[in-house]
Amino acid sequence: MSDESPIRVIHDLERAIRLWELLRDSAQLVVNEAKACSEKHGNSVATNQTVAKARACIAVCNTSVLAAKARIDELARGY
């Protein structure tokens, strides 16, 4: 375990959550823009590599946010 106080760790986790949410939102914009462009041209985004990467990024960010929130809950229960 780290020498850091639980309050400091919670603060750092909350900051990380905000960053992951910003990254996730940026990736979602890529998906939304690709969908809009594809719909105009009658294409599918299902085979678009950029969209696939953005969706993978979104999934990783969501997983990271959930894990950080769970850790915050664990630390908060310790008080």
- The whole-angstrom distance between residue 31's C-alpha and the CA centroid of its chain comes to 14
Is the pLDDT assigned to residue 2 strictly greater than 60? no
Phi and psi torsions of 44, nearest 5°: -110, 140
Is the pLDDT assigned to residue 27 strictly greater than 90? yes
Where do the structural domains in the chain lie, given as residue ranges? 6-77
Give the mean model confidence (pLDDT) for residues 67-72: 98
Give me the chain's average pLDDT, please: 91
Predicted pLDDT at 79: 65
Give the mean model confidence (pLDDT) for residues 51-63: 97
% of the chain beyond a pLDDT of 90 = 72
Predicted pLDDT at 43: 78
Query: If you count them, how many residues does the chain have?
Result: 79
